Amino acid sequence: MNEANDVIWNKILAEIETEISRANFLTLFKNTSLLSVDDDIASITAPSIMIIDLIQRRFLEMLKKSCQKHLGESIEIIFVPRIILSKINETETPLFNKSVESTQSVGHLVRVRPEFTFQTMAVSGSNQLAFISAQTVAANIGGSYNPLFIYGPVGVGKTHLMQAVANEVYRKDSSAKIVYITSEEFTNEVVEAIRGNQTQSMKKRFRNATLLLIDDVQFIAGKDRVQEELFHTFNILIDRGSQVVLSSDRPPHEIKKLESRLSSRFAGGLTVDIEAPDFELKTAILLIKAKKFEVELPIEVAKIVAERVEDTRSLEGALLRIITESKTKNVPITEDIAIRALGGKRETNNFHPEEVVRSVCQFYSIKPTQLKGPRREASLVKARQVAMYLLKKELNLTLVEIGNLLGGRDHTTVMHGVEKIEKLVDSKANVEQDILGITKTIRGNFS
């Protein structure tokens, strides 16, 4: 945050402090800051998604009014959750709200990885609710959400979160009877117990648990005997006050060939989803993994990788390729090294990014210095957002690269600009004709 932003934000906070209670101000606003002001966008950082949600629901109009007073009538507000990662300066990465703590082994629970804890899990908007729910369950076994049913696509951190619950409960009480098992393993145990006439031993193991966690529960669908055993086990555990945590790739009502009575039990507690990781979450995951490998990963490189790699499970592989490329060539990790290691190019067409800038300026009769400058007139803002959209769609530049090209703007400003033009294009607004005209000019110059 620069000095000018600091001064403006202090004035805004001073006004807000006079309008709300001292407790609300200290809780919600004291640790906020103004990250950047680009065009008609003010990016405001706050410690967590929860704080942002409370500000938006209770004080957004008041905040917006004060921001418009000091930053201009057309200003829009974007909230960015802050991440504080050890060894990374806060001003470099205002993304998340949790510092990374060292992970200590909590013992040796069967099938549970000791490094899968709440402290080692990066948190953002895509998994915030599931994270908080899991923490609540671990702190109050059988007394909060029972069962806790977590669902989401492959590679979003469901297993990490479930095992974090197990590790936290074990850390507080090593005598607790904790059973973590996949649905495939549960199925195999039921089958083997029936085959070996050892069903009583199998039932005792599961039904005496303090905490039962079953991963990928969707795979019991269609297995009648297994579903029956789980149904009775489930009921006994809930009645005893034990905790059940389940995960799946879909919510209970969407699991085909799942008995209705079991689906009803699964949905009887709290059902939360984990969405595909957003840009901020993937950035944080990369920074955490880099620390694990004892590698200094520049924040700008992490952003580039996060934007290009969709699957969370592929992030570590991408990071290892970059580390290998850096060590092989005996050079520091840079943006160019990262792009080369990922097999990408900065441009996907045969023209240069500056040609896009020139064509946009020519179309709207403005100068490149105006397009890249700080002024926020509506006509300039529109031209910048069109340029952001074209640089992303035509050349597949990253948000960071586009921001740097257009005067050092923050990636959140670029993201907002691209999304705004996408919506206008989808709604068949006049801007679509502008884009077609600019694109035709660019390609005509290089045909």
Q: Which residues make Cβ contacts (< 8 Å) with residue 249, sequence separation at least 6?
A: 151, 152, 153, 154, 216, 218
- What per-residue confidence (pLDDT) applies to 1? 47
Cα 288 to Cα 142: distance, rounded to the nearest angstrom: 32
Q: Looking at residue 83, what DSSP letter applies?
A: B
Instruction: Give the Å distances, CA to CA, from 281 to 35, 60, 83, 98, 288.
Output: 18, 24, 9, 12, 11
- What per-residue confidence (pLDDT) applies to 201? 84
- What per-residue confidence (pLDDT) applies to 85? 29
Cα 118 to Cα 122: distance, rounded to the nearest angstrom: 8
Positive or negative CA dihedral for 410, 157, 275, 84?
negative
Of 79, 86, 87, the C-alpha closest to 50 is 79
* Domains delineated in the chain: 3-81 (3.30.300.180), 128-273 (3.40.50.300), 279-341 (1.10.8), 353-445 (1.10.1750.10)
Cα 281 to Cα 295: distance, rounded to the nearest angstrom: 19
Cα 202 to Cα 191: distance, rounded to the nearest angstrom: 10
- Asked if residues 201 and 130 have their Cβ atoms less than 8 Å apart, the reply is no
Residue 222, helix vs strand vs coil: coil
If one counts every other C-beta atom within 10 angstroms of the C-beta of residue 58, the result is 13
> Angle of helix 60-71 relative to helix 49-58, nearest 10 degrees?
90
Ranges under pLDDT 50 in the chain: 1, 83-108, 346-348, 447
Quick one: tokens of 418?
Answer: 């691209």
